[in-house]
Chain A
Amino acid sequence: MSPPSAPKLPVNLAANPKLSSWVKFGPDGEVTISPGKVEIGQGIVTALAQIAADELDVDLTRVQMVRASTAASPNEGVTSGSLSIQQSGRAIRQACAEIRQIFLTAAADRLGVEAGALDVSDGTISGPGNVQTSYWELADAVSLDRDATPGAVPKPIARRALAGNSVQRLDIPDKVFAAPRFIHDTALPAMLHGRVLRPEKSRAKLVELREGGARAVPGLIAIVRDGSFCGVVCETEAGAEAAATALRKGATWSAGETLPDENDLAAFLKGQPVESTVIDSRAASPASEKTRTIRRQYTRPYIAHASIAPSCAMAQWSGDRVHVWTHSQGVYLLRADLALVLKLPLEQITVEHLEGAGCYGHNAADDVALDAVLLAKAAGGRPVRVQWSRADEMTHAPFGAAMAIEIEADLDAQNEIVCWRHSIWSNGHAARPGRASQPALLAAFELEHPYPRIISANPPQANGGGGDRNSIPLYDFPAWKIESHRLLTMPVRTSALRTLGGQGNVFAIESFLDEIAAERGEDPVAFRLRHLADERAKDVIRSAAKRANWKPAATAGTGYGIGFARYKNTGAYCAVVAEIEGEEDIRVKQLTIAVDVGEAINPDGVINQIEGGAIQATSWALKERVRFDSERITSNSWAEYPILRFSEVPRVEVEVIQRSEIDSVGAGEAAHGPVAAAIANAVFDGLGVRVRNLPITRDSLIAAMELAS
């Protein structure tokens, strides 16, 4: 917390200081709040509404949350990295605190009493002698078209009525009563439908296009082609689908570019040209001499976002201006890339958010928005809705990057760690739009005059890192060196997926620790606690262990394992105990989790995010792997890319350690790494087999057994 003597605005408020851009009081007794962050299925809109209602002293039912749009919303960049509560929440809290103060001053003037004697209850401002007014009565007289100043002090935690309580999410009723809320269900007047053809073979070029079949489809409006970008616009969605099917039959593509060997990802990753960075090092004279070094290699495959809905967007041109509806994570960033491709000034492009299905990072939401913009050019001013196919969603959206991680530990005569070396080989984990002088949108690479494909980069460690995320140990080893090797080639398109490199690094670190603890014959929980100084870290480990009755004895076909991390080393603390059963096909029976996000604004929301993250992480760990042959991504359906089903989902118990006095951090990505590690460690406990290559399938178990024998 910053000291009261040096007040500073929260970063996102300093960047968007005008108070009226965040908060408005409407004519019908409502308060509208305009965050720049967007709902992606994580419940953020509700948590932000809670913060605003608390700080303004209004009932939550009065708060109306406005969807982000470049037309009016504050620019809060991208909704990612579990940062929305930290960034947007702080900005809204500070803005509302100042607005409350401004209104109290105005009310004091009007009512002729001291501001300090006034109180606010559900927006009604009252004082001694039954004098009263309200935000809405004063709204005409008080201009919020002014910049925030750092002086206002938000309420102390004890006086917050809503934060810390599990309020019901604002968006859920619409979703269970089928009120159109998703972009997919939104129909604009005179809307047309579009489909885009994408090659089956990786980066194949469109050589020839016979249009006859598509031209015969009733209701066809246009066939659009620009280089290898090619699509149809039709009166109806079924018509667009039929025209695209016909066009696909008439399309001839070049050969694809060569993809790596899916069965030897480590060799591929370690054989490419790389940019190497030392992420961190610590040199200390160890208390004891090393007597030997052990080295292990861990891998994770490419992982698909595999959102349950295919990406969708709408666009409408009006002269040389275009309006775009999108489920992108960053409306301003998407606009920046659209401006590059269209060679238009930013002001001529409006990008507006509508909810899509759950989003776990940089998926195809932005790509399909450019598709819609390009097709809509041929629509004579009518809006065009474009939706990707399931196959394109599974094969053309960016993937989470595959990783090979090698860790070496120097051990002394007592098998204590005296030095630790962690090396990562991976593509970059971020190629988001709006960040570079070149666009990062798929169609931009396919045009007649294409933009070069962006090779994914990594955010700096100060922002949490990319491939190196969570690679610096939280354990007090006397010396270490952490190195990241980012690939300079990118045959498989990668970008940000939940946790970036965090899942892979935590899986590797926590597996390796378990291996060392086993060599020492030391309990893995005790081993971790002995190497941690941070009490919050120890608390989540102790809590999860206690709740799971650590450690139940492994019996035939069952096993128990632990995993721990603090997300990004600066975010939420999370410890997981996994219970597994099975000998050939591993089933995760139970995950027992303790989490510390500081102040949990909406505790049930935190539990929901952690539980969901843990189940998704189980799916990644047991099932998920993008498949490909030498020139084609082959996992193009749910049959080829299976995810965890209801009958396979573990019981999940979550304990939230509430720390009201500590600023909140996000929960959405905290569980992935610890869950993967806990499962792998439980497999070792139960079966005595150490699986170092994810996912943990029957095949990888057999391979690990063969390696060990």
Chain B
Amino acid sequence: MPITRFRLNGVETDVDADPDSLLLDVLRGRLGVTGAHFGCGSGECGACRVIVGDHAVTACDTPLWSVADKDVTTLEGLGSADRPHPLQRAFIAEQALQCGYCVSGILISAAALLRQNPNPSEADVRTALDRNLCRCGSHNRMVRAILRAANEMAAP
């Protein structure tokens, strides 16, 4: 098998797998990185979103070869309990989830949005999250948390 090399959460990573493998299978199955979740397998729910370069993509329908030499960020790469990303802090502060299964994909979509638009309106946030599904009905809290994080990041 050819080796595919990419940077996973800032770390150079070599994967010896069929380049047509799905990125989600590689992350979860090969690398044991479980932040991205399987939800539908067809890019419809967004639970598996990761950031490739600067854009949030669904890892369940992204082939491995397409991320060669690129930066891939999963929820694990966003921050940690010791060094939380403002979005993670804001999601805790707003208690912005119920079951939390969709939340990894939503945090990723939000992080990608804030990279491109550090000062989004509420409508911008809703548009950016429109391809992420949440079944528990935590949408409004999530939107509030994302706006809170954006504010915090903009503060001098």
Q: Which residues of A contact B91 (CB under 8 A)?
A: 172, 176
Do the beta carbons of B100 and A41 come within 8 Å of each other? yes
Which residue of chain A lies nearest to B90 when distances are taken between CB atoms in the complex?
A: A176
Would you give the 0/1 interface string for A132-147, flagging 1 where the beta carbon is closer than 8 Å to chain B? 0000000000000000
Do the beta carbons of B99 and A358 come within 8 Å of each other? yes
What are 10 A-to-B residue pairs whose CB atoms are below 8 Å? A40-B99, A41-B100, A177-B75, A184-B38, A308-B133, A357-B101, A387-B38, A390-B42, A604-B95, A637-B40
Complex alpha-carbon distance, A238 and B22, angstroms: 9
Complex alpha-carbon distance, A309 and B74, angstroms: 18
Q: Which residues of A contact B70 (CB under 8 A)?
A: none
Do the beta carbons of B79 and A187 come within 8 Å of each other? no
Q: Does B143 contact A (CB under 8 A)?
A: yes
Complex alpha-carbon distance, A644 and B133, angstroms: 8
Q: Which residues of B contact A177 (CB under 8 A)?
A: 75, 79-81, 84, 88
Complex alpha-carbon distance, A613 and B41, angstroms: 26
Q: Which residues of A contact B97 (CB under 8 A)?
A: 172, 175-176
On whether A358 and B107 interact (CB within 8 A), knowing A40-B99, A649-B140, the answer reads no
Residues of B participating in the A interface, judged by any CB pair closer than 8 Å: 21-22, 25, 28-29, 32, 34-35, 37-42, 44-45, 47, 74-76, 79-81, 84, 88, 91-92, 95, 97-104, 107, 125-127, 129-130, 132-141, 143
Do the beta carbons of B40 and A390 come within 8 Å of each other? yes
Q: Which residues of B contact A172 (CB under 8 A)?
A: 91-92, 95, 97, 100
| Residue picked from B47, B79, B129, B133, most chain A C-beta under 10 Å | B133
Complex alpha-carbon distance, A611 and B98, angstroms: 10
Q: Which residues of B contact A390 (CB under 8 A)?
A: 39-42
Partner of B98, one of A612, A638, A639: A612
Q: Does A608 contact B (CB under 8 A)?
A: yes
Complex alpha-carbon distance, A358 and B47, angstroms: 13
Which residue of chain B lies nearest to A236 when distances are taken between CB atoms in the complex?
A: B29
Q: Which residues of B contact A360 (CB under 8 A)?
A: 135
Do the beta carbons of B137 and A638 come within 8 Å of each other? no
Please give the distance in Å from B132's CB to the nearest CB on chain A. 7
Complex alpha-carbon distance, A604 and B98, angstroms: 12
Please give the distance in Å from B126's CB to the nearest CB on chain A. 4
Q: Which residues of A contact B21 (CB under 8 A)?
A: 238
Q: Does A523 contact B (CB under 8 A)?
A: no
Do the beta carbons of B100 and A175 come within 8 Å of each other? yes
Which residue of chain B lies nearest to A638 when distances are taken between CB atoms in the complex?
A: B44
On whether A358 and B98 interact (CB within 8 A), knowing A611-B141, A645-B133, the answer reads yes
Please give the distance in Å from B120's CB to the nearest CB on chain A. 13
Do the beta carbons of A646 and B129 come within 8 Å of each other? yes
Complex alpha-carbon distance, A358 and B37, angstroms: 14
Q: Which residues of A contact B22 (CB under 8 A)?
A: 238
Do the beta carbons of B42 and A647 come within 8 Å of each other? no
Q: Which residues of B contact A307 (CB under 8 A)?
A: 135
CB interface residues, A 318-361, toward B, < 8 Å = 355-360
On whether A643 and B100 interact (CB within 8 A), knowing A309-B37, A649-B140, the answer reads no
| Residue picked from A238, A360, A652, most chain B C-beta under 10 Å | A238
Complex alpha-carbon distance, A178 and B49, angstroms: 13
Partner of A389, one of B41, B44, B81: B41
CB interface residues, A 585-625, toward B, < 8 Å = 604, 608-609, 611-616, 619
Q: Does A171 contact B (CB under 8 A)?
A: yes
Residues of A participating in the B interface, judged by any CB pair closer than 8 Å: 40-43, 168-169, 171-173, 175-178, 180, 182, 184-185, 187, 236-238, 306-310, 355-360, 387, 389-390, 604, 608-609, 611-616, 619, 637-639, 643-647, 649, 651-652
Partner of B34, one of A169, A185, A236: A185
Which residue of chain B lies nearest to A613 when distances are taken between CB atoms in the complex?
A: B137
Having A177-B75, A647-B127, one finds 14 other A-B pairs with CB under 8 Å, namely: A41-B98, A42-B98, A171-B100, A172-B92, A176-B91, A177-B80, A178-B76, A184-B34, A309-B47, A359-B99, A390-B42, A611-B138, A613-B137, A616-B136
On whether A180 and B39 interact (CB within 8 A), knowing A168-B92, A237-B25, A309-B101, the answer reads no
Please give the distance in Å from B36's CB to the nearest CB on chain A. 9
Complex alpha-carbon distance, A236 and B39, angstroms: 18
Complex alpha-carbon distance, A309 and B36, angstroms: 12
Which residue of chain A lies nearest to B43 when distances are taken between CB atoms in the complex?
A: A638
On whether A616 and B135 interact (CB within 8 A), knowing A176-B88, A178-B74, A389-B41, the answer reads yes
Q: Which residues of A contact B41 (CB under 8 A)?
A: 389-390
Do the beta carbons of B103 and A237 come within 8 Å of each other? no
Complex alpha-carbon distance, A637 and B41, angstroms: 10
Please give the distance in Å from B156's CB to the nearest CB on chain A. 25
Please give the distance in Å from B67's CB to the nearest CB on chain A. 17
On whether A615 and B137 interact (CB within 8 A), knowing A177-B88, A309-B47, the answer reads yes
Which residue of chain A lies nearest to B81 when distances are taken between CB atoms in the complex?
A: A177
Which residue of chain B lies nearest to A171 when distances are taken between CB atoms in the complex?
A: B100
Do the beta carbons of B135 and A649 come within 8 Å of each other? no
Please give the distance in Å from B96's CB to the nearest CB on chain A. 8
Q: Ordered nearest first, which 6 A-B pairs have the shortest CB separation?
A: A41-B99, A615-B137, A175-B100, A612-B137, A358-B99, A178-B35
| Residue picked from B38, B75, B98, B140, most chain A C-beta under 10 Å | B98
Q: Which residues of A contact B42 (CB under 8 A)?
A: 390, 637
Q: Which residues of B contact A238 (CB under 8 A)?
A: 21-22, 25, 29
On whether A608 and B95 interact (CB within 8 A), knowing A184-B37, A308-B47, the answer reads yes
Do the beta carbons of B95 and A41 come within 8 Å of each other? no
Which residue of chain B lies nearest to A305 when distances are taken between CB atoms in the complex?
A: B135
Q: Which residues of A contact B37 (CB under 8 A)?
A: 182, 184-185, 309
Q: Which residues of B contact A169 (CB under 8 A)?
A: 95
Do the beta carbons of B92 and A308 come within 8 Å of each other? no
| Residue picked from B92, B99, B125, most chain A C-beta under 10 Å | B99
Please give the distance in Å from A394's CB to the nearest CB on chain B. 9
Q: Which residues of B contact A236 (CB under 8 A)?
A: 29
Complex alpha-carbon distance, A613 and B98, angstroms: 11
Q: Which residues of B contact A182 (CB under 8 A)?
A: 37, 101
Complex alpha-carbon distance, A620 and B30, angstroms: 38
Do the beta carbons of A178 and B34 come within 8 Å of each other? yes
| Residue picked from B101, B107, B126, B141, most chain A C-beta under 10 Å | B101
Q: Which residues of B contact A651 (CB under 8 A)?
A: 140
Complex alpha-carbon distance, A455 and B15, angstroms: 50
Complex alpha-carbon distance, A180 and B35, angstroms: 8
Do the beta carbons of A608 and B98 come within 8 Å of each other? yes
Complex alpha-carbon distance, A173 and B125, angstroms: 22
Complex alpha-carbon distance, A182 and B42, angstroms: 21
Do the beta carbons of B136 and A237 come within 8 Å of each other? no
Complex alpha-carbon distance, A173 and B80, angstroms: 10
Please give the distance in Å from A149's CB to the nearest CB on chain B. 37
Complex alpha-carbon distance, A307 and B134, angstroms: 9
Please give the distance in Å from A65's CB to the nearest CB on chain B. 16
Complex alpha-carbon distance, A186 and B107, angstroms: 21
Q: Which residues of B contact A359 (CB under 8 A)?
A: 99
Please give the distance in Å from B62's CB to the nearest CB on chain A. 14
Q: Which residues of A contact B95 (CB under 8 A)?
A: 168-169, 172, 604, 608
Q: Which residues of B contact A168 (CB under 8 A)?
A: 92, 95
Complex alpha-carbon distance, A236 and B17, angstroms: 13
Do the beta carbons of B135 and A237 come within 8 Å of each other? no
Q: Which residues of B contact A645 (CB under 8 A)?
A: 130, 133
Do the beta carbons of A41 and B136 come within 8 Å of each other? yes
Do the beta carbons of B79 and A306 come within 8 Å of each other? no
Please give the distance in Å from A195's CB to the nearest CB on chain B. 12
